[in-house]
Amino acid sequence: MSQSVLHFALVGNPNCGKTALFNCLTGARAKVANYAGVTVEKRSGPLAGLSRPAELIDLPGTYSLYVASPDEQVARRVILGEMPGEVRPDALVAVVDATNIKLGLRLVLELKALGLPMILVLNLADAARQRGINIRTDLLAERLGMPVVETVAVRRNGVAALQAALRTLALDLKSRTGSLGLPERGEAVESLYARIDALLADCVEAPASAPRWQDRLDALVMHPVLGLVILAATLLLMFQAVFAWAAPLMDGIEALVGWLGGQVGALLPEGILHDFVVDGLIAGMGSVLVFLPQIIILFAFILALEDSGYLPRAAFLLDRMMRGVGLSGRSFIPLLSSFACAVPGIMSTRSISNPHERLVTIMTAPLMTCSARLPVYALVIGAFVPQRTVWGLFNLQGVTLFCLYVAGIASAALVAWVCRRRQGKSESFPLLLELPNYRWPNLYHFLLGLKERAWIFLRRVGTIILALSIVLWFLATFPGAPEDAALPAIEYSFAGKLGALMQPLFEPLGFSWQMCIALIPAMAAREVAVSTLATVYAVGGGDAALGSTLAHSWSLPVALAYLAWFVYAPQCLSTIAVVRRETNSRRATLIFTAYLFALAYVAALLVRHLAAAWA
Ligand SMILES: Nc1nc2c(ncn2[C@@H]2O[C@H](COP(=O)(O)OP(=O)(O)OP(=O)(O)O)[C@@H](O)[C@H]2O)c(=O)[nH]1
Ligand SMILES: [Mg+2]
């Protein structure tokens, strides 16, 4: 007899550890972080160890089946089998945050009314125990009429017991098809809560309130003035670290790349192949690779902050300002993920139900500084900004980087504000963002996240950056200079000609033809601006380290103008493509691209002239 696949779904409030459990049970590596709304789309994986083939589905968090925002609707529709082309789950694994059982039980009782077989998981059992919360699981199981398992998903505690419960449940489970109607809400909310209170009174012993230190910390962190100071200091520290801590590692990588170039160069006879391998391949990739330590340090901070519970508080703090410009807490997660890369950021705007707010979020997401800009920023800052201490504490390079990030954020706010003025006053959206408990970042997730980030970067270096470096080297090498050449050879090459063609357009900004040519491959990946500059300046006869070459070739105002250009310019074809896909409008995509290029041009022009006037 062939057996059909069983489907189990993980259901629960946001941030109760569903995805952490999903990863334990399926061996997946989906993103886990300490704020509500991390999972926005359903995801499934194979559930091994049962007597029959089975699949586990991870869903976005939801508070209730009866009120639903768009991402909560995903959960509801999957559970009820209303998703076209998807089978309805045969059984549910309800996950409840053991430190917040009351909220979780409301959903559990709603789910139970659906009549599907269920297991209740009390996750975060470690945090509950620490707070002196004591749960009589066997009594709770008896009263609810379903198995109850305590787990600590991040340490895999209780996962074996959960697997055993799943096995037992699977034994006499029949897979069914067809959708399930949402039953009429049978009772008033008051009586639902009365039932929950009775359950809690019998099964849970808990101290009266959450620990005091969390409240004290909140009072500090969310104080309207002090909170902003803390936020600014945190970010400054982060950018500080990017420069201060990375330096020795970067020197190491640079030395390694130089050594490799020397070794390989010695093996190859002088000539075109030698130049291609040493100047095109090794120098091109190496010039980007040196930024790996900075990328890792940046993400170490972001990942630690993500898991600590601080970020939603920062959003809460900024909510007033966000609301002032027509955005709300709903835009927070898309904008936050845009700091890594605008592409997933723009995709996650799907959870915003208001179309205008969604469009504004899409339009402003690329102004959040993505990690591909870091190498460009770091190169130019390293070359032009002295390593000086300012205000007795901060390093001028870190402060400059901080300013570039803030320039992006402030501009996004301005753009959102202008859009809102044009749209007219819309209803104000309340911030529906739950404040999670503070928590020490989980080391395993932290390291896993870092590894993933490093890998994404290395893969970019090994694929797109490598490919573009090769193309660029050819463009910069051929055709060769004539016999009676008066200028450096590169000026006769395709790259030189193309740069010369573009240069008049960028003349007002002071960009040299080399700076212009670097903008073209940077459309495919911003980092390539760095390797292109390395190639065009190396091939042009310079041999010193790229930074000092630039410091000699560009003036400070022009270097700052180049930075300003990169803050705004939509130098990324994948972002433009994803905007086209998500807005499904050619007009919106065109406006998006045009307005960002225009902004980049104006900003660079202003910066150049202001800096020149100042100096
Ligand atoms: N101490 C402790 N932390 C946990 C446990 N399970 C999950 N976490 C942490 O809780 C946070 C939320 O975990 P996720 O798995 O992302 O939660 P989720 O329910 O999938 O959240 P959404 O997708 O936003 O609905 C993360 O910071 C985890 O590291 C646990 O058992 N103990
Ligand atoms: Mg999740």
- Write out pLDDT tens, residues 28-53: 888 888 877 778 778 899 998 888 89
Lowest mean pLDDT among 339-348, 454-463, 521-530, 531-540: 531-540
Q: What one-character DSSP code corresponds to residue 395?
A: E
Ligand 1 center–CA 594 separation, angstroms: 41
Q: Is 71 in the pocket of ligand 1 (CB under 6 A)?
A: no
Confidence of residue 425 (pLDDT cuts 50, 70, 90): low
Q: Is 121 in the pocket of ligand 1 (CB under 6 A)?
A: no
C-alpha–C-alpha distance, residues 406 and 499, integer Å: 31
**Residue 26 burial (CB count, 10 A):** 19
Residue 328: pLDDT over 80? no
Ligand 2 center–CA 39 separation, angstroms: 4
Average pLDDT, whole number, for the chain?
86
Selection from 383-397, 492-506, 538-552 with the highest mean pLDDT: 492-506
The atom of ligand 1 lying closest to the CA of 16 is: 19
**Count of domains forming the chain:** 1
Task: Write the DSSP string, 416-458.
Answer: HHHHHHHH---PPPP-----PPP-PPPHHHHHHHHHHHHHHHH
Per-residue pLDDT, 576: 93
Per-residue pLDDT, 543: 45
C-alpha–C-alpha distance, residues 399 and 237, integer Å: 9
- Write out pLDDT tens, residues 158-174: 999 999 999 999 887 77
Per-residue pLDDT, 105: 92
Distances (CA, A) of 309 to 302, 409, 437, 491: 12, 21, 6, 54
Q: Is 358 in the pocket of ligand 1 (CB under 6 A)?
A: no
Q: Which domain holds residue 88?
A: 4-203
Q: Is 32 in the pocket of ligand 1 (CB under 6 A)?
A: yes
Q: Is 285 in the pocket of ligand 1 (CB under 6 A)?
A: no
Residue 105 is inside which H or E element, if any? helix 101-112
Q: Select from 166, 161, 165 the least CA-distant residue to 150.
A: 161
Q: Is the peptide bond before 479 cis (omega within 30 degrees of 0)?
A: yes
Confidence of residue 102 (pLDDT cuts 50, 70, 90): confident
| Long-range contacts of the stretch 333-337 (C-beta < 8 A, 24+) | 333/35, 333/37, 333/38, 333/40, 334/361, 334/365, 335/361, 335/364, 335/365, 335/368, 335/412, 336/311, 336/368
Residue 424: pLDDT over 60? no
Q: Is 158 in the pocket of ligand 1 (CB under 6 A)?
A: no
Residue 235 lies in a domain: no
Q: Are 335 and 411 in contact (CB under 8 A)?
A: no
Q: What one-character DSSP code corresponds to residue 175?
A: P
- Write out pLDDT tens, residues 42-83: 889 999 888 889 999 999 888 888 865 666 778 888 888 887
Q: What is the mean pLDDT of residues 205-210?
A: 73
Residue 104 lies in a domain: yes
Q: What is the mean pLDDT of residues 562-568?
A: 96
Q: Is 152 in the pocket of ligand 1 (CB under 6 A)?
A: yes
- Write out pLDDT tens, residues 265-307: 899 888 888 888 888 888 888 888 888 998 899 889 989 998 8
Residue 146 lies in a domain: yes
Assigned token pair, 3: 């057996």
Ligand 1 center–CA 69 separation, angstroms: 21
The atom of ligand 1 lying closest to the CA of 22 is: 15
- Top pLDDT among 411 and 239 is at 411
Residue 113 lies in a domain: yes
| Interface predicted TM-score (ipTM) over 0.90 | yes
Q: Is 98 in the pocket of ligand 1 (CB under 6 A)?
A: no
Residue 119 CA to its chain's centroid (Å): 32
Residue 430: pLDDT over 70? no
Assigned token pair, 583: 């807005």
Q: What one-character DSSP code corresponds to residue 269?
A: P
Lowest mean pLDDT among 15-19, 276-280, 362-366: 276-280
- Protein residue closest via CA to atom 11 of ligand 1: 34
The atom of ligand 1 lying closest to the CA of 12 is: 19
Q: What is the mean pLDDT of residues 136-151?
A: 94
Dihedral over alpha carbons 472, 476, 480, 486 (to 10 degrees): 180
- Protein residue closest via CA to atom 17 of ligand 1: 17
Per-residue pLDDT, 350: 78
**Ligand whose nearest atom lies closest to the CA of 33:** 1
Per-residue pLDDT, 541: 46
Ligand 2 center–CA 60 separation, angstroms: 6
Q: Is 124 in the pocket of ligand 1 (CB under 6 A)?
A: yes
Q: Select from 554, 561, 551 the least CA-distant residue to 610.
A: 561
DSSP-H helix ranges across 208-245: 212-221, 226-244
C-alpha–C-alpha distance, residues 234 and 585, integer Å: 39
Q: Is 607 in the pocket of ligand 1 (CB under 6 A)?
A: no
Q: What is the mean pLDDT of residues 303-324?
A: 82
* Sheet arrangement for strand 6-12: 43-46, 54-58, 6-12, 91-97, 118-123, 148-150
Ligand 1 center–CA 98 separation, angstroms: 12
Per-residue pLDDT, 391: 78
Lowest mean pLDDT among 263-277, 321-335, 495-509: 321-335
- Write out pLDDT tens, residues 438-496: 888 889 889 988 998 899 999 988 988 889 888 888 888 888 877 777 777 778 888 88
C-alpha–C-alpha distance, residues 478 and 496, integer Å: 10
Question: Can you name the residues that pair with 205 across neighbouring β-strands?
Answer: 134
Phi, psi of 183 (to 5 degrees): -65, 150
Per-residue pLDDT, 588: 94
C-alpha–C-alpha distance, residues 52 and 57, integer Å: 16
Distances (CA, A) of 455 to 260, 409, 463: 21, 27, 12
Q: Are 243 and 230 in contact (CB under 8 A)?
A: no
Assigned token pair, 172: 């006499």
Residue 147 lies in a domain: yes
Per-residue pLDDT, 357: 84
- Helix or strand or coil: residue 364? helix
Residue 152 lies in a domain: yes
Residue 303 lies in a domain: no
**Ligand whose nearest atom lies closest to the CA of 11:** 1
The atom of ligand 1 lying closest to the CA of 151 is: 31
Confidence of residue 215 (pLDDT cuts 50, 70, 90): confident
- Helix or strand or coil: residue 108? helix
**Ligand whose nearest atom lies closest to the CA of 62:** 1
Q: Is 36 in the pocket of ligand 1 (CB under 6 A)?
A: yes
Return the best residue to mutate from 15, 59, 157 for the ligand 1 pocket (most ligand atoms within 8 A of CB). 15
Q: Is 39 in the pocket of ligand 1 (CB under 6 A)?
A: yes
Whole-model pTM above 0.90? Answer: no
Per-residue pLDDT, 324: 74
Return the best residue to mutate from 32, 56, 348 for the ligand 1 pocket (most ligand atoms within 8 A of CB). 32
- Helix or strand or coil: residue 7? strand
The atom of ligand 1 lying closest to the CA of 39 is: 23
- Top pLDDT among 66 and 573 is at 573
Residue 410: pLDDT over 80? yes
Q: Is 15 in the pocket of ligand 1 (CB under 6 A)?
A: yes
Residue 525: pLDDT over 50? yes
Cβ-count burial of 474 within 10 angstroms (0-12 exposed, 13-18 middle, 19+ buried)?
middle
Q: Is 404 in the pocket of ligand 1 (CB under 6 A)?
A: no
Ligand 1 center–CA 126 separation, angstroms: 12
Provide, rounded to the nearest whole percent, the portion of the chain with pLDDT above 70: 93
The atom of ligand 1 lying closest to the CA of 442 is: 29
Ligand 2 center–CA 110 separation, angstroms: 20
Return the best residue to mutate from 13, 19, 59, 62 for the ligand 1 pocket (most ligand atoms within 8 A of CB). 19
Q: Is 34 in the pocket of ligand 1 (CB under 6 A)?
A: yes
Assigned token pair, 352: 């915003």
CATH number of the CATH domain containing 40: 3.40.50.300
Q: What is the mean pLDDT of residues 547-558?
A: 90
Ligand 2 center–CA 33 separation, angstroms: 8
- Protein residue closest via CA to atom 21 of ligand 1: 15
Confidence of residue 1 (pLDDT cuts 50, 70, 90): very low
Q: Is 442 in the pocket of ligand 1 (CB under 6 A)?
A: yes
Residue 435 lies in a domain: no
Question: Can you name the residues that pair with 11 across neighbouring β-strands?
Answer: 94
Return the best residue to mutate from 10, 11, 13, 16 for the ligand 1 pocket (most ligand atoms within 8 A of CB). 16
